[in-house]
Amino acid sequence: MSKISTNISLDPTLKKEGQELFSDLGLDLTTAVTLFIKQSLRVQGLPFPVVRDKPNAEEIEMMNEVQDIKAHPENYKQYTSGKELISEILADVESDSDD
């Protein structure tokens, strides 16, 4: 099978660390990239899950607040329209700037 040369741009540190890892596994960078592409084709997608990092404390607090709003909507102000909500936000911003 003939081969063609392909250029990819990598952060120098990422390339160096990748080469060290793959070398420890008995691979060079070209072989590792080839394995990645072949496995991607085999599974018709990325050969590993792509997920977000674990949420930080602020994100957890926001998710808990959303759950509380869903469970107890009576404890939170409700708006009849988006316009009403935006009007209130703008009024709050204006009053904060007057201080």
**Can you give the pLDDT at residue 50?**
87
The overall average pLDDT reported for the chain is: 93
pLDDT in tens, the chain (99 residues): 788 999 999 999 999 999 999 999 999 999 999 999 999 999 999 999 988 788 899 999 999 999 999 999 999 999 999 999 999 999 988 887 776
Whether the model clears a pTM of 0.85, i.e. scores above it, the answer is no
Name the one residue in this structure whose structure tokens are 């009053």.
95
**Can you give the pLDDT at residue 81?**
94
33 burial via Cβ count (<10 Å: 0-12, 13-18, 19+) = middle
Secondary structure E strands in the chain? none
